[in-house]
Amino acid sequence: MMKKGLLDILKGKFLVSGDAPKNWLFIIFASFLATVMIGSSHSADKKVHQIATLNEEVKELRSEFVDIHKDIQKLKLESTISQNLAKKELYPSETPPKKIRVKSAKE
């Protein structure tokens, strides 16, 4: 009996027997679910690759930001500014600035 049932399945008799429409509907449904599962798996893989690419880009941009920030900090130093201005023959004043106080009319 078990052997006959297995032989019927292998020969495909379940697809042409009296209750074949139920079997066909199940096969179509299972195929649809498999297609949806494969599609969602590919979509998830694609998103994982996008995330990995974006993470690499973020690391590169962060490194570039740190380098540029370091260069800007160096350019802001008083010694660097003095050196650059000395090339243009501009030097800091030797006399300190004087405060100018304006008295208002009420005082």
- Rounded to whole angstroms, the Cα distance separating 23 from 19 reads 7
Nearest to 20 by CA among 92, 28, 6: 28
Question: What pLDDT digit, counting tens, does each position of 39-72 carry?
Answer: 999 999 999 999 999 999 999 999 999 999 999 9
> What percentage of the chain reaches a pLDDT higher than 90?
44
> What percentage of the chain reaches a pLDDT higher than 70?
97
Q: Is the pTM of this model over 0.85?
A: no
CB of 24 closer than 8 Å to CB of 16: no
